Amino acid sequence: MLFGRRKRKPIVIPEKKVAEWKYTTCNYCSTGCSIEIGLDDTGKLVTSRGHAGADVNRGKLCIKGLLEHELFESPGRGTQPLMRDKFHEEFKPTDWDTAMDTTATKIKEIQDKYGRDSFAVVSTGQLLTEEFYTLGKLVRGQIGTNNYDGNTTLCMASAVSGYKRSFGADGAPGCYGDFEHTDCLMAFGSNLPEQHPIIYWRLKEAKEKRNFPLIVVDPRVTMLAQFADIHLPITPGTDCVLINSMLHVMFKEGLEDRAYLEAHCNNLEELEALVTQDKWAPEHAQKECGIDEDRIRTVARLYAKAGTAMSIWTMGINQSTHGSDGVANINNLNLCTGNIGKPGGTSLSITGQCNAMGTREWSSCSGLPGYRALENENDRDTIADFWKIDPEFFPKQRGLCQTDIFPAIETGEIKGLWLVATNPMTSMPNTPRIRKAMEKLEFLVVQDCYEDVETNQYSHVYFPASVWAEKEGCHTNTERRVNLIRNAMPAYADSKPDFWIFKEMAKRFTERNDIHFPETPEGAFEEMKELSKLPGNYGQQRNLDISGMSYDKIEAARGIQWPYREVDAEGNSTNGSKLKGQHDLKGDPRLYSDAIFPTPNGKANLILVDFVNNNEQPCDEYPFWLNSGRVVEHFHTRTRTGKIGNCNKFSPTPYMEMNPDAAEELGIKHQEYVRLTSRRGDAVVMVQLTQRVARNAVFIPFHFHDCVNRLTLGLLDPYSRQPAFKQCSARIEKIDQAEAARINAERRTF
């Protein structure tokens, strides 16, 4: 009997007739869920399911993963290369050779005329790692522009910068398994239930088994905040004040882990002198961060006295003018309480895009592959030697970040651009300014699996890319787990895998450097393995060591965490269960368990974080805080989820969360349209009344084109150059409803 139905209208699960399951990893968020896609006996894709044996998701998927197989044939996919002379002309279809020859010629012309760095490349966190490595080789080793960066500057740059400043290297030290050991968890600006639903499920399961306090710091009452034991609705942009004040309480009350600090950290005296200043006392800090002084004391004591404690954070910290400082300060909190490298004690940056980690590790954006730096002579020599080129071909310091590349187009310093799997027309702050920059480009190439991606409006050449399981290669997830996507589907129409595009493009630049490019992604993986086992700059073993991995081992273990050295792979089991020495055959779950950090003296750095509030604040003219972020059913600029009916139907229209009391004051009703205006521009949105946001704040998902990013300011963090997407001010006006409905319908092309 099904739910009391007996035999009347029994629920029938249609037989999908799956002939073969193919192993892949989800291509949306960084959780890294293992997916099996089911093909029938004609090779047609009929269904997909979470892999029950995968450590990460244990059979579960969120709405996006469950429907991901629908994207292969969704409308707007690019079918063939396109070209035109001027961006306002119609595109003409062309073949790959012509499109690539034209692109290579244009790149060379621009570089000859204006210098090598006048052509920029902006990549993404959504390709496969082998593709990143190959693109890096092409750009660093052949095209030779230093203005090469990724959309990770909008996403993870502050986490990278904070990790490097504190620990000497990037790479999250913890893992999801830490939820099962922690005695206290603090989440800063991270809304797991919507943005990382399966990580949230892991957290929830751990908390149900063994309750521990969950403290959520977020100006908005997010789903995670609703589930928290303590919610701290912080004044936007002031997390560093809260953390300094917590450190103040810890040092004043002798709650810090002095033994750990003295043995393993630099700058203890300086940090103590800073945070014990009177201005960080909770009675003063409360005025700036908006959290009551007693609350600050309670949370500081709870965190410091917990057996083990851990912090997670996402964009509420990274996307701020104090993003890098925020990350470094969270690391301070964990170093001061001795919570690094312990089960349940860690600083775990929750990553954004599916392979934002892979690009950080291997793309050479901002550096050289394998966490190597352009600034380091030894690193330049190692890579030049490996690629068999002259080290002098490399620049000696990194070039412009993505957020500085667009202003450099404005000033005429950059004349040509290649955009790979990113859509800045919707995702960059201050759209009106980006639009002007795009118009100025002499040459723009857009490489995307969708030809209707907004940025393509300005391109001269369009490369139709294959997507997800039409390709083969790896991703690295939030917890350093390398997982595999098997090629399950043929490439759509005449689209090509990004790997193929880069390697074919390389053939057009051999006169500069004739580098060897492997023919297959697996060949590129073998090169990365070789590079990963060479010793680090202080003679130590690299943490980012993948030399023990292979595609088959990764698939068998359903993902392996690095470090995973050749010695770890020795032994006779590939079923991922056998223990060998200290390491599980699934890799190492934690970094820095030995408290040795990749810094010159092996100690971690405590970073001194002072605070100057430089955000655009609400004022008489623009009285609302404007916050932006995501919802569960959509991914970024909706190129994918906007076309999947069962995702799009939940929020097909740009909308804004607004507090009912504020709405009443302005005479605005639920589901009415309003105009929102900032110093940069305006947008029309539908109002959703909710107590989730404070009376002086609004929240808009950034998934919609010509919406919130027409208003955002995007001041940059000085270290990471990441924009503060979440802090600016705006005013709300009533508008003619019929006119607004018309604008809205026009924008709802999908």
Give the residue with the Cβ less far from ligand SF4, 49 or 342.
49
Q: Which residues contact 366 (CB under 8 A, 6 or more apart)?
A: 149, 150, 398, 401
Structure tokens at 674: 């309003």
> Nearest approach, Cβ of 63 to Mo ion (angstroms)?
18
- Which span (149-157, 236-244, 283-291, 664-672) binds Mo ion, by CB under 5 A? 149-157
708 is a site residue for ligand MGD (CB under 6 A): yes
Environment class of residue 744 by beta-carbon count within 10 Å: exposed (0-12), middle (13-18) or buried (19+)? middle
Give the residue with the Cβ less far from ligand MGD, 366 or 422.
422
> Nearest approach, Cβ of 569 to ligand SF4 (angstroms)?
26
Rounded Cα distance, 45 and 286, in Å: 56
Give the residue with the Cβ less far from ligand MGD, 189 or 416.
189
Cis bond leading into 563, ω under 30°? yes
Residues 31-50 that bind ligand SF4 (CB under 6 A): 31-33
644 is a site residue for ligand SF4 (CB under 6 A): no
- Which span (55-63, 180-188, 272-280, 550-558) binds ligand SF4, by CB under 6 A? 55-63
Listed in sequence order, the DSSP H helices in 253-376 are: 258-264, 268-275, 282-289, 293-305, 315-318, 323-336, 356-362
- What φ, ψ does residue 463 adopt, rounded to 5°? -100, 115
> Nearest approach, Cβ of 432 to ligand SF4 (angstroms)?
31
Q: Which does 172 bind (CB under 5 to 8 A by kind): ligand MGD, Mo ion, ligand SF4, none?
A: none
Contacting ligand MGD (CB under 6 A), which of 83, 127, 206, 474?
Answer: 127
H-run or E-run covering 47: strand 45-50
Q: Which does 65 bind (CB under 5 to 8 A by kind): ligand MGD, Mo ion, ligand SF4, none?
A: ligand SF4
Question: CA 367, 445, 28, 484 torsion: positive or negative?
Answer: negative
Q: Which does 198 bind (CB under 5 to 8 A by kind): ligand MGD, Mo ion, ligand SF4, none?
A: ligand SF4
643 is a site residue for ligand MGD (CB under 6 A): no
219 is a site residue for ligand MGD (CB under 6 A): yes
352 is a site residue for Mo ion (CB under 5 A): yes
203 is a site residue for ligand SF4 (CB under 6 A): no
Give the residue with the Cβ less far from ligand MGD, 237 or 587.
237
Structure tokens at 367: 């550096």
- Which span (70-78, 142-150, 271-279, 347-355) binds Mo ion, by CB under 5 A? 347-355
> Nearest approach, Cβ of 238 to ligand MGD (angstroms)?
7
Question: CA 666, 669, 672, 678 torsion: positive or negative?
Answer: positive
Give the residue with the Cβ less far from ligand MGD, 442 or 498.
498
54 is a site residue for ligand SF4 (CB under 6 A): no
Listed in sequence order, the DSSP H helices in 610-748 are: 645-648, 660-666, 737-747
448 is a site residue for ligand MGD (CB under 6 A): yes
61 is a site residue for ligand SF4 (CB under 6 A): yes
**Residue tagged 């499109």 (tokens):** 99
197 is a site residue for ligand SF4 (CB under 6 A): yes
> Nearest approach, Cβ of 635 to ligand SF4 (angstroms)?
7
Decide if 676 contacts 682 (C-beta within 8 A).
yes
Environment class of residue 526 by beta-carbon count within 10 Å: exposed (0-12), middle (13-18) or buried (19+)? middle
First-to-final CA distance of the chain:
41
198 is a site residue for ligand SF4 (CB under 6 A): yes
618 is a site residue for ligand MGD (CB under 6 A): no
> Nearest approach, Cβ of 15 to ligand MGD (angstroms)?
31
Contacting ligand SF4 (CB under 6 A), which of 24, 36, 39, 65?
Answer: 65
434 is a site residue for ligand MGD (CB under 6 A): no
In three-state secondary structure terms, 516 is: coil
469 is a site residue for ligand SF4 (CB under 6 A): no
User: Do the strands 655-658 and 682-689 form a parallel or antiparallel pair, or are they unpaired?
Assistant: parallel
Give the residue with the Cβ less far from ligand SF4, 65 or 497.
65
Contacting ligand MGD (CB under 6 A), which of 374, 557, 632, 658?
Answer: 632
H-run or E-run covering 158: helix 157-167
Per-position DSSP letters for 563-618, written without gaps between them: P--HHHH-SS--SS--EETTEETTB-S-S-TT---SSTTSPEEP--------SPPP
Q: Which does 453 bind (CB under 5 to 8 A by kind): ligand MGD, ligand SF4, Mo ion, none?
A: ligand MGD
User: Do the strands 148-150 and 119-123 form a parallel or antiparallel pair, or are they unpaired?
Assistant: parallel
- The CA distances from residue 437 to 425, 441, 451, 505, 573, in Å, are 10, 7, 20, 26, 55
- Which span (22-30, 153-161, 270-278, 417-425) binds Mo ion, by CB under 5 A? 153-161
Rounded Cα distance, 314 and 333, in Å: 16
657 is a site residue for ligand MGD (CB under 6 A): no
29 is a site residue for ligand SF4 (CB under 6 A): yes
Contacting Mo ion (CB under 5 A), which of 54, 143, 155, 631?
Answer: 155
Q: Count residues contacting ligand MGD (CB under 6 A)?
A: 61
Cα 214–217–220 angle (5° rounding)?
115
62 is a site residue for ligand SF4 (CB under 6 A): yes
505 is a site residue for ligand SF4 (CB under 6 A): no
> Nearest approach, Cβ of 634 to Mo ion (angstroms)?
13
- What φ, ψ does residue 742 adopt, rounded to 5°? -65, -50
> Nearest approach, Cβ of 690 to ligand MGD (angstroms)?
13
Q: Count residues contacting ligand SF4 (CB under 6 A)?
A: 14
Q: From 705, 708, 723, 725, select the one nearest 639 (Cα to Cα).
A: 705
Contacting ligand SF4 (CB under 6 A), which of 23, 28, 458, 500?
Answer: 28
Give the residue with the Cβ less far from ligand MGD, 173 or 352.
352
Q: Which residues contact 554 (CB under 8 A, 6 or more apart)?
A: 474, 482, 483, 484, 560
Q: Which does 48 bind (CB under 5 to 8 A by kind): ligand SF4, Mo ion, ligand MGD, none?
A: none
710 is a site residue for ligand MGD (CB under 6 A): no
Structure tokens at 685: 């949105």
Decide if 312 contacts 350 (C-beta within 8 A).
yes
> Nearest approach, Cβ of 81 to ligand MGD (angstroms)?
13
Rounded Cα distance, 396 and 514, in Å: 21
126 is a site residue for ligand MGD (CB under 6 A): yes
Q: Which residues contact 258 (CB under 8 A, 6 or more apart)?
A: none
Q: Which does 358 bind (CB under 5 to 8 A by kind): ligand SF4, Mo ion, ligand MGD, none?
A: none
Structure tokens at 458: 């300005």
- The CA distances from residue 554 to 50, 139, 294, 544, 550, in Å, are 16, 28, 49, 16, 6
- Which span (52-60, 113-121, 182-190, 511-519) binds ligand MGD, by CB under 6 A? 182-190
DSSP state of 696: T
Rounded Cα distance, 661 and 667, in Å: 10
462 is a site residue for ligand SF4 (CB under 6 A): no
> Nearest approach, Cβ of 283 to ligand SF4 (angstroms)?
41
Residues that bind ligand SF4 (CB under 6 A): 26, 28-29, 31-33, 57, 61-62, 64-65, 196-198
Q: Which residues bind ligand MGD (CB under 6 A)?
A: 29, 124, 126-127, 151, 154-155, 188-191, 194-196, 217-220, 222, 234, 236-237, 239, 314-316, 319-320, 352-353, 420-424, 427, 447-450, 453, 465, 467, 498, 627-630, 632, 634-637, 639-640, 702, 708-709, 712, 725-726
The residues binding Mo ion (CB under 5 A) are: 155, 352
